[in-house]
Structure 1
Amino acid sequence: MSNGNGPRSGGRVGGPGGGLVIAAVDGSDPSLRALEWARLAALRHGTGLMVAHVLPDASQLYAGRRSSLRHPNEPAEYADPVGDRVRALLESGPELPPEVRYEALEGSVPEALRAVGGEREPLMLVMGSRGRGGFAALLLGSNSRAVATTATCPVVVVPHEERAVRDAEGASAGRVVLGLHAAETPEDVLAFAFAEAAARGTTVQVVSAYALPPGPMAVIDSPFAVIPPEALADGADGVPAEREMLRAQTERLVPLRARHPDVPVEQAVVPGDAAGRLVEASRSAALVVVGRHHPRPRSLLMGSVAHAVLQHAHGPVAVVPTLHDDGA
């Protein structure tokens, strides 16, 4: 691992895959799980890895005091045990991306992480669902929620161990599940899901939900059917809402299929609650991908589906903002 040009940074980040993968760590077990997820993501995408740690308030206060006093007896560096632990883990662990960098940041966690990455747009930012100091009962910590809501790049939130339902090997082998509202989901969300599936060599399962009128015969909790595109014919069975949504799905997927011809695609249309279906799908998925909000450019609000999936998913969730103004 590179040591860099100063006490708080190390090495040049980059790689053939373009934007780097950023892992946000604070020394907690969930953040170290996120670091491992980020390491594998950087290897899959052939890009660099930046490990970013926002220093706790005490360290930031000490740094400010040292800078203002400039006393000769003050040490040149202040302790960063998280950085020491991360470096030790990476240097003693398995394969690393060709270039790795560690950054100790100052400021609030959401603000510091929004600014990280410099001139290069990150490929993604990966963090644990609950950091150090969070209440054990919380499914999603306040910093994770704030970063996922405001970051200018896709944010992958990795659940803490109590929420995960399978080991790392099983998670890596699963499909990528894409939550799609055919009329509203920005193109950036689809592009991220297909690129991640291509890097993994796995399937994209596209899940859309439609509303059913209340009635005693509505079976919301039944398993949903996966329908391959070739099965969508004029004479196919299904309620009108299901058939129309399948057609809208197919139209939205045409350009993605053309760009990623080797990525298998499964289409699923489900009645009822989209968030609940995506949470259930997360039990066996490598990653669930959702859009951050409705297509209001640069909105600062997170949509209800993304928020619910982040709160309850059993595996990693990627929340993708609108990155380009020409997205659908």
Structure 2
Amino acid sequence: MSNPPVIAAVDGSDHSLRALEWARTAALSRGTGLLVAHVLPDVSQLYAGRRSSLHDPNEPARFADPVGDYVRGVLEAAPELPPEVRYEALEGSVPEALRVIAAEAAPMMLVMGSRGRGGFATLLLGSNSRAVATTATCPVVVVPHADRDAPGGAPADGAPADGAPADGAPGTYSHGADPHGTAPPAAGASAGRVVLGLHAAETPEDVLLFAFAEAAARGTTVQVVSAYAVPPGPTLIVDSPFQVIPPEALADDGDAVPAEREMLRAQTERLAPLRSRYPQVPVEQAAVPGDAAGRLVDASRSAALVVVGRHHPRRRSLLMGSVANAVLQHAHGPVAVVPALHPDEDS
């Protein structure tokens, strides 16, 4: 494939077929190829090893791969396919096999379901999904199973999810907005915005680039959510809505919380290069008191995609960051976990 492909990891389960459909549409919107990867079950891997070791020409060259045949049939029934579709059967453990093919293919992203065929029904996130999102060298999009869909789906007529500011509502800080603060509708906009979890001082540039590129491909808005610390006090209101500052409030002290003003200023400075690179992408900025992960989970109810960084680029730990882990566990829609692809560069 000439351009970086989108990889869809499948195992024949309903969860993986949801991920396959998401990957198909992502490849179409990006104008790139689709690589469908399936890790063979143990019995097929044992047969392949036996045939190779015995060098028996009487054994059939191709062993049964019902998942591969089934997925090919699903794709053939799709209304539209990317310019190039390839299927790859892999051997080894699921996390390691997917990590290797991601390193070799250098894909735009790897898409997989939140639970595989062998997952317990009560698990929010399968072990393979967690392992791949933690170690892959490319962005990993985890598509949740149907049980985690927001009740009733995305709000109708563009209404916001609980806790998320409406487009053009008072207090919404939007880039590319009209004098009344309403962002112009994008041509062919997809359902839901791309929500970016941003720590202005720490989030790697690769995370921002991925979010803006995905919004540009979908013709939708990027909503940037950053959290600031709130000291406990007698008047603290738990689970209050987003507190968002309009542009005019940034010019003077006003009645706004100083931490919010400072957070939005930091956001604006960090986002300036992305706005120049993607002038067609409307941007909304939100400063959130306290819990970033909880607000991102709330926003996932109506978002097309939530984008988070995997961990701080200067921390060499193999553990996933707490925000990324919490959002993966509880989000109601697809989540992209983006590593620092250029860890030696300053964020």
The normalised TM-score by structure 1 is: 0.91
2:287 partner SS: strand
CA distance in 2, matches of 1:118, 1:66: 28
Q: Which amino acid aligns with 1:163?
A: R
State yes or no: 1:253 paired with 2:238. Answer: no
CA distance in 2, matches of 1:230, 1:89: 52
Which of 138, 145, 157 is the aligned partner of 1:153? Answer: 138
Unaligned runs of 5+ in 1: 1-12
Contact 1:228 1:267 in 2 (8 A): no
2:56 partner SS: coil
Deviation at 1:123, TM superposition (A): 0.3
Q: Which amino acid aligns with 2:100?
A: A
Matching residue of 2:31? 46
Matching residue of 2:17? 32
Query: Where does structure 1 differ by over 3 angstroms across 4 or more consecutive aligned residues?
Result: 117-120, 166-172, 225-231
CA distance in 2, matches of 1:169, 1:103: 38
Unaligned runs of 5+ in 2: 159-189
Aligned-residue CA RMSD (Å)? 1.9
Deviation at 1:73, TM superposition (A): 3.1
The normalised TM-score by structure 2 is: 0.86
State yes or no: 1:114 paired with 2:114. Answer: no
Q: Which amino acid aligns with 1:189?
A: V
Residues 9-20 of structure 1: matches in 2 within 5 Å? 13-14=1-2, 18-20=3-5
Deviation at 1:132, TM superposition (A): 0.6
Deviation at 1:169, TM superposition (A): 11
Matching residue of 1:81? 66
Matching residue of 1:129? 114
Matching residue of 1:5? none
1:219-275 CA-to-partner distances (Å, cap 9, x unmatched) read: 231110444556532244322211111111111000000000110000000111111
Distance 1:147 1:117, change over 3 A: closer
Contact 1:227 1:266 in 2 (8 A): no
Deviation at 1:71, TM superposition (A): 2.4
CA distance in 1, matches of 2:275, 2:330: 30
Which of 266, 282, 286 is the aligned partner of 2:304? Answer: 286
Deviation at 1:70, TM superposition (A): 2.2
Deviation at 1:168, TM superposition (A): 9.1
State yes or no: 1:269 paired with 2:287. Answer: yes
CA distance in 2, matches of 1:87, 1:244: 52
Q: Which amino acid aligns with 1:314?
A: H
Contact 1:26 1:82 in 2 (8 A): yes
Matching residue of 1:210? 228
CA distance in 1, matches of 2:346, 2:210: 12
CA distance in 1, matches of 2:85, 2:316: 30
Contact 1:290 1:306 in 2 (8 A): yes
Q: Which amino acid aligns with 1:173?
A: A
Range that drifts further, 248-257 or 291-300: 291-300
Contact 2:245 2:261 in 1 (8 A): no
1:253 partner SS: helix
1:153 partner SS: coil
Deviation at 1:117, TM superposition (A): 4.8
User: What is the identity percentage for the equivalent residue pairs of Structure 1 and Structure 2?
Assistant: 81
Contact 1:20 1:123 in 2 (8 A): yes
Contact 1:149 1:292 in 2 (8 A): yes
CA distance in 2, matches of 1:44, 1:224: 31
Contact 1:229 1:267 in 2 (8 A): no
State yes or no: 1:326 paired with 2:311. Answer: no
2:146 partner SS: coil
Number of residue-to-residue matches in the alignment: 313
Q: Which amino acid aligns with 2:84?
A: E
CA distance in 2, matches of 1:231, 1:20: 44
CA distance in 2, matches of 1:222, 1:81: 50
Matching residue of 1:62? 47
